[in-house]
């Protein structure tokens, strides 16, 4: 379609951001716009083999590079940015996963601080068959291999936080960030409330696939070529991240302990239904209680993330968020021609 | 099939159990056996209309009646009981859900003790269309209704606990109990480790359907007619509940905070894979991290319950738990003729 | 002096209880009464040296033996038992502490389930100087020793739980039990709400001293000779344990996560002040917020326990709990003659 | 004493900082130095009466103003800043406490997100008798008043965080910040590890007094005139805040859930003893388990803070942190002449 602007951006090595907030914008964009970007993997591309230990080849805090931030013209606090993922395509034919000392859900960490010895630090190289859309696990001990379907996604997409803060790219919170949910895939629209002028959108942390909860703390990490349609919804607040695809509306809550992440996602969903459909809050509470799906996203990051997914077929008719998902899908279809 | 014993049991009003452990067995059974039972709803059938408030019509602690316990001949600590659900059929054409003061995930409770006023106590009557396999939500305010598919399940199935304890039927723990997972449906086999002689198996808490997390604390509660095939696996321990259906093996962890429930389910799954397939624990950790699905069961009960579901297609070949699931399915097929 | 009954009880090896609830009473007592009892240490006296590992010499679930339960004549649900500790005296000149695999606050456990290797299992023998009222730590590595003052206390005192339950003697909850607070010392009155007829009071788990939080999970465990005055307060409920000494009123909250234990203790204290003094709840909230002391009791047991201590000098005049503390002190003085 | 530099600093209204990290230094200081500063109260001095509701008179995020940051010449990552509080003196004869909607430990919050109605927003004005060193509570309902001793302290003292972050002044973490511990009083030395060049030390949030846990979320807030001696300890890391007074060494852990805050404080204490005295880690674990005091600091902030206090009399001889506490006390004595 003729008039939809396309912005392509492939950062140089020194052009990545490492925080949400506190980084200067790399470009200014006018919405609606197609963003066609490259994202480096969470280890800045420095783990290439089983011998490349994160604790040796990575230099903290230069972990989880973000492509961006993009300054969205006209975005102000009280608005919402909508990011529709058109395609998320691994840029390499391999990915990497690892254990990292004092990180992961089944080990003592810097915060769940224990006296036990840490787990061994190990790297697993995953080989991709991009034609078959599979990725291959190879055991480090023994000769077991297993092909799993690829489900390319972004662990991290966010805007600058409120309260004058700058947060590490490892943090998920109300501003989005490192939520690590497999729902952040092509076909999904992600809504993020704007906290500062220009919103300062960035993304990264591509995963060829990830289990729910991201148990060991690391997915099948890889670089991505990603196309999004980005729009701005003026005057529509979004207190916590919302996601939408053709079948579900979703909320993401990020906090510790994990029940607080659950509570955030669920209250946000209940209140969203009540606001959107004029439903009584208690009725919305009941409807959600019987209809919701509640997969975990991550139980490893600075905050844990819990998803609340409501099937659209259980909702009253009509669209949410001003119909942005359908509109952005249409724009995506125009873009792909 | 001629030689599979069928035990039918429909308790009188004074024959229900209210605890796991501490209740005398209602019958002794020899495995394998078909159990064909009736279970009363969690409110002991005392909520019939929107005017029947739980706080008024129910008499604590006589909540969540259990059918059983059944003494399983030959069951000893170190063995595992396998319960394959053949059918779970609502015994009425209506169910009930409610809010209960100081109960539910989005309110202060007796444990998350706050000074806020409690939420209103409300009852929702759900009407079933058993032919269409749907249940109808009717809003208390306004005239909104919504049909959802039925997904009949048991919130509660368990054996007597270890450590000389007797626990309320509201508790989920290593002995099973009130896990409130929608996975406990027809077609699923549930494995429970035996803690006392005879195991003392019981079940109840039928739900026509339930969202993941059981947000308000109460599902669509109804009485059930349920058929199970029960078997005993000698010399096979099962430290936390395991579930299996045709597509998944699953573990259930129950604890607070919720991340501990997650940790239990995930370590149990990792160790199960390592033990079953001779896989290195770290390799199993990696395989689970990328392959697991992690829906929540409940975030409302005395312990919260987190599920870890591993698709069988991601596992090495061969069966788990000595092939009990297939064997019990076969017995179920014989029973149904 | 003349008419205060004294009941002495030193259990045989087979007369201990291992649960709260579910154990038959060892004696019936009429209040007020002096109870003069012996309590065995938490390891049933089976750890005598650094070579006696708990995992080898103890037989689960026979851990934490309780002296009792005592059936209190006339005690009914809605009443409160008051236990005033007159003296708690180590019955030996040594105590023992240990690490136990998968137990303690700074290690993975059965519930905070991790893949790390457990900590080493070690025993420390503590020598007492009963004249000087000190106990001596001796390092296992090197030759460091340190004398600390004795502060004899009972980790465990409780009544039968509500809800038809029987709980392991390792559990602290609303019925008291294994709270492991150093506040449970001579001079303190402990109030416990009655859940079943006869209350079924028992106690054990003597500690020569204990740090707040009981970090490694085990205090300086020893057998005790303990004298209490026990009374019954009719018609006075006590939803969670309360303690009182000459300087403080206190509440004990037991739950997980630890913030819920804190919330219980603090709301109970706020509501106690509001009820006792006719104070507005919000005013009581403010008074507590500025006046309370909040030491931890344990962060290791089945539930964690948080204490809320309000100095009496910050309270309006008058007594609490009907003046039971002063009355029992007076009876204690009579007893000692 | 002649050669100890004294830096006095009373910020203008537009010179306060609202974050740790991300704010330009207000002055550069050479250590050792006496800092004589004014700190405004947490509400920026805008609550003067019971009618000044925080939600109306304060403008988020301009809450909890920090005096500073001070750039410490020569401070680099791997060093530690030592701040010895010489005097903390209320600058007014009144202080203020309040409830704030969705804030505090006994209410639903933005994170412990519930559907309950929030608590009422109320202000309590506290009157000080600075001669008697008392502060007077006046109930909002009824005519009850109560004098409590003043215990002037700073809720907030910190340096810039690591990982390129800027955090709200409401946050406590490894960099110090809003720990809200009553231990931060005159006579105490606070050690903070340096994360960025110049350290960027700031402080604020004076409390005339505060209960442990800061139950309602707000202490008796007041402006302070505060004198500190600040020094730099080169080449001595301090991973989490440490405090020292004449009687105790202490660690502060800040995290959620609260047990993780406890774990941090306790492991830091155990490891500090092991490192400082060459003690075996397991011996240090045992010594701490029996000797530690564990008062809570706050259970309301972005992270909760738990203190671990070890009496010096239970430690081997010798000083900690290179004897900084004694040295700074000596400098303080010189300053006071």
D38-47: average pLDDT: 98
Which residues in chain A have Cβ-Cβ distances shorter than 8 Å to B288?
211, 215
Cα D245 to Cα D313: distance, rounded to the nearest angstrom: 12
Which residue in the set D107, D113, D115 is minimally distant from B119, CB to CB? Answer: D115
Pairing mode, strands A153-158 and A176-177: antiparallel
Look at residue C169 and tell me whether its pLDDT is greater than 50.
Answer: yes
Give the residue numbers in C contacting A (CB under 8 Å), as ranges. 106-108, 112-119, 257
Look at residue C214 and tell me whether its pLDDT is greater than 60.
Answer: yes
Is the CB of B108 less than 8 angstroms away from the CB of D113? no
pLDDT digits (tens, 9 = 90+) for A236-281: 999 999 999 999 999 999 999 999 999 999 999 999 999 999 999 9
Interface probe, candidates A16, A65, A77, A111, chain D, greatest D C-beta count within 10 A: A111
Is the CB of D140 less than 8 angstroms away from the CB of C291? no
Is the CB of D106 less than 8 angstroms away from the CB of B119? no
Which residue in the set B116, B118, B257 is minimally distant from D119, CB to CB? Answer: B116
> Residue D337 — pLDDT band, cuts 50, 70, 90?
confident
B196-210: average pLDDT: 98
Check residue A21 and give left, alpha or beta (phi > 0: left; psi -120 to 50: alpha): left
Query: Please, where are the H alpha helices in A150-294?
Result: 258-277, 281-291
> CB contacts < 8 Å between A and C, how many?
32
Residue of D nearest to A285 (CA): D115
pLDDT digits (tens, 9 = 90+) for A77-107: 999 999 999 999 999 999 999 999 999 999 9
Which residues in chain A have Cβ-Cβ distances shorter than 8 Å to D112?
260, 263
Interface probe, candidates C286, C295, C310, C311, chain D, greatest D C-beta count within 10 A: C286
For residue D8, with 0-12 CB atoms within 10 Å meaning exposed, 13-18 middle and 19 or more buried, which class applies? exposed
The pLDDT assigned to A337 comes to 84
Kindly write down the DSSP assignment for every residue of A51-90, as one continuous string: T--HHHH--TT--S-EEEEEEETT--BTBEEEEEEEEEEE
Is the CB of B296 less than 8 angstroms away from the CB of A299? no
Give the residue numbers in A contacting D (CB under 8 Å), as ranges. 18-19, 21-22, 60-61, 111-115, 162-168, 170, 253, 255-257, 260, 263-264, 266-268, 270, 281, 285
Is the CB of B119 less than 8 angstroms away from the CB of D118? no
Which residue in the set C114, C165, C281 is minimally distant from B166, CB to CB? Answer: C165
Write the class of the CATH domain A5-336.
Answer: mainly beta
Cis amide leading into C257 (omega within 30): yes
Look at residue D195 and tell me whether its pLDDT is greater than 60.
Answer: yes
SS3 B314: helix
Subunits close to B (at least 3 CB pairs below 8 A): A, C, D
Looking at the complex, report in whole angstroms how far the Cα of residue C108 sits from the nearest Cα belonging to chain A: 7
Residue of D nearest to C256 (CA): D259
Cβ neighbour number for residue B271 with a 10 Å cutoff: 17
Which residues in chain A have Cβ-Cβ distances shorter than 8 Å to B289?
97, 210-211, 214-219
Residue B205 token pair: 């808490």
Is the CB of A267 less than 8 angstroms away from the CB of B140? no
Q: Residues A75, A237: contact at Cβ < 8 Å?
A: no
Give the residue numbers in B contacting D (CB under 8 Å), as ranges. 106-108, 112-119, 257
Residue D153 token pair: 């302290």
Cα A149 to Cα B314: distance, rounded to the nearest angstrom: 10
Cα C150 to Cα C148: distance, rounded to the nearest angstrom: 6
C153-159: average pLDDT: 98
Residue of B nearest to C239 (CA): B110
Q: Which CATH number fits domain B5-238: 3.40.50.2000, 2.60.420.10, 2.60.120.580, 2.40.10.220?
A: 2.60.120.580
Kindly write down the DSSP assignment for every residue of B155-223, as one continuous string: EEEE---STT-BEETT-EETTEES---TT-BTT-EEEEE--STTEEEEEEEEES---TB-TTS---B--
Q: How big is chain D, counted in residues?
A: 337
Look at residue A330 and tell me whether its pLDDT is greater than 50.
Answer: yes
The pLDDT assigned to D3 comes to 78
Q: Residues A152, A223: contact at Cβ < 8 Å?
A: no
Is the CB of B60 less than 8 angstroms away from the CB of C163? yes
Residues whose CB is less than 8 angstroms from the CB of residue D117 and which lie 6 or more positions away in sequence, other chains included: B116, B117
Q: Residues D23, D158: contact at Cβ < 8 Å?
A: no
Look at residue A68 and tell me whether its pLDDT is greater than 80.
Answer: yes
pLDDT digits (tens, 9 = 90+) for A112-125: 999 999 999 999 99
> Residue C318 — pLDDT band, cuts 50, 70, 90?
confident
> Residue C3 — pLDDT band, cuts 50, 70, 90?
confident
Residue of C nearest to A111 (CA): C106
Which residue in the set A60, A253, A270 is minimally distant from D115, CB to CB? Answer: A270
Residue of A nearest to D195 (CA): A61
The pLDDT assigned to D318 comes to 87
Sole residue written with tokens 């388990």: D289
Average pLDDT score over chain C: 97
Look at residue B138 and tell me whether its pLDDT is greater than 60.
Answer: yes
Look at residue D105 and tell me whether its pLDDT is greater than 70.
Answer: yes
Residue A109 token pair: 């960490």
Cβ neighbour number for residue B236 with a 10 Å cutoff: 16
pLDDT digits (tens, 9 = 90+) for B139-156: 999 999 999 999 999 999
Is the CB of B106 less than 8 angstroms away from the CB of D112? no
Is the CB of B304 less than 8 angstroms away from the CB of A97? no
Is the CB of B113 less than 8 angstroms away from the CB of D106? yes
Is the CB of B255 less than 8 angstroms away from the CB of C111? yes
pLDDT digits (tens, 9 = 90+) for B250-297: 999 999 999 999 999 999 999 999 999 999 999 999 999 999 999 999
CA distances, C305 to each of B47, B190, C243, C260, C294 (Å): 36, 34, 13, 9, 11
Which residues in chain A have Cβ-Cβ distances shorter than 8 Å to B106?
263, 266-267, 270, 285
Residue of C nearest to A106 (CA): C114
- Residue D328's H or E segment, with its range, is helix D324-336
D198-215: average pLDDT: 98
Look at residue A1 and tell me whether its pLDDT is greater than 60.
Answer: no
Is the CB of D108 less than 8 angstroms away from the CB of B114? yes
The pLDDT assigned to D1 comes to 45
CATH architecture for segment(s) C5-238+321-336: Sandwich (2.60)
Which residue in the set D111, D264, D266 is minimally distant from A255, CB to CB? Answer: D111
What are the backbone angles phi and psi of residue D74, rounded to the nearest 5°? Answer: 90, -5
The pLDDT assigned to D142 comes to 92
Look at residue B317 and tell me whether its pLDDT is greater than 70.
Answer: yes
Pairing mode, strands C248-255 and C242-244: antiparallel
Is the CB of C260 less than 8 angstroms away from the CB of B164? no
Cβ neighbour number for residue B141 with a 10 Å cutoff: 12
pLDDT digits (tens, 9 = 90+) for D243-291: 999 999 999 999 999 999 999 999 999 999 999 999 999 999 999 999 9
Residue of A nearest to C258 (CA): A257
Subunits close to C (at least 3 CB pairs below 8 A): A, B, D
pLDDT digits (tens, 9 = 90+) for C287-310: 999 999 999 999 999 999 999 999
> Residue B1 — pLDDT band, cuts 50, 70, 90?
very low
End-to-end CA distance of chain B: 7
Residue of B nearest to A267 (CA): B106
What ranges do the domains of chain C cover?
5-238+321-336
Which residues in chain A have Cβ-Cβ distances shorter than 8 Å to B279?
139, 141-142, 144
Looking at the complex, report in whole angstroms how far the Cα of residue C4 sits from the nearest Cα belonging to chain D: 37
Looking at the complex, report in whole angstroms how far the Cα of residue B289 sits from the nearest Cα belonging to chain A: 5
The pLDDT assigned to C1 comes to 46
Of B217, B193, B187, B190, residue with least CA distance to B297: B217
Which residues in chain C have Cβ-Cβ distances shorter than 8 Å to A114?
106-108, 114, 116
Residue C316 token pair: 């309006």
The pLDDT assigned to C337 comes to 84
Average pLDDT score over chain B: 97
pLDDT digits (tens, 9 = 90+) for C72-85: 999 999 999 999 99
Residue D87 token pair: 């005097």
Is the CB of B106 less than 8 angstroms away from the CB of D113? yes
- Residue C262's H or E segment, with its range, is helix C258-277
The pLDDT assigned to B3 comes to 78
Which residue in the set D18, D113, D166 is minimally distant from A166, CB to CB? Answer: D166
End-to-end CA distance of chain C: 7
Is the CB of A264 less than 8 angstroms away from the CB of D60? no
Of C158, C156, C44, residue with least CA distance to C96: C44
Look at residue C2 and tell me whether its pLDDT is greater than 60.
Answer: no
Cα A202 to Cα A70: distance, rounded to the nearest angstrom: 6
């Amino acid at each position: 379609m003729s008039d939809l602007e396309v912005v392509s951006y492939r950062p140089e090595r020194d052009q990545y951001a490492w925080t949400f907030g506190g980084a200067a914008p790399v470009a200014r964009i006018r919405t609606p716009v197609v963003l066609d970007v490259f994202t480096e993997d969470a280890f800045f591309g420095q783990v290439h083999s089983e011998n490349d230990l994160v604790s040796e080849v990575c230099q903290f805090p230069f972990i989880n590079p973000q492509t961006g931030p993009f300054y969205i013209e006209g975005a102000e606090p009280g608005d919402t940015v909508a990011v529709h993922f058109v395609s998320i395509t691994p840029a390499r034919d391999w990915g990497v996963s690892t254990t990292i000392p004092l990180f992961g859900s089944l080990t003592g960490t810097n915060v769940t601080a224990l006296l036990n010895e840490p787990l061994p630090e190990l790297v697993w190289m995953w080989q991709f068959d991009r034609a078959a859309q599979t990725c291959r696990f190879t055991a480090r001990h023994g000769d077991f291999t297993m092909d799993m379907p690829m489900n390319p996604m972004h662990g991290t997409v966010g805007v600058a936080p409120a309260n004058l803060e700058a947060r590490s790219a490892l943090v998920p919170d109300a501003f989005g960030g490192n939520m690590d949910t497999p729902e952040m895939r092509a076909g999904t629209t992600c809504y993020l409330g704007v906290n500062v002028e220009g919103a300062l959108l960035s993304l990264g942390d591509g995963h060829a696939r990830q289990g729910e909860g991201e148990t060991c703390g690391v997915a099948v990490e890889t670089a991505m070529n990603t196309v999004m349609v980005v729009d701005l919804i003026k005057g529509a607040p979004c207190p916590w991240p919302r996601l939408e695809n053709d079948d579900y509306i979703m909320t993401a809550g990020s906090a510790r302990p994990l029940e607080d992440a659950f509570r955030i996602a669920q209250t946000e969903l209940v209140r969203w239904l009540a606001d959107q459909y004029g439903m009584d809050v208690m009725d919305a509470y009941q409807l959600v209680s019987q209809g919701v799906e509640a997969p975990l996203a991550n139980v490893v990051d600075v905050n844990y993330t819990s998803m609340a997914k409501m099937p659209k077929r259980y909702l009253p008719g009509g669209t949410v968020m001003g119909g942005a998902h359908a509109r952005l899908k249409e724009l995506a279809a125009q873009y792909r021609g």
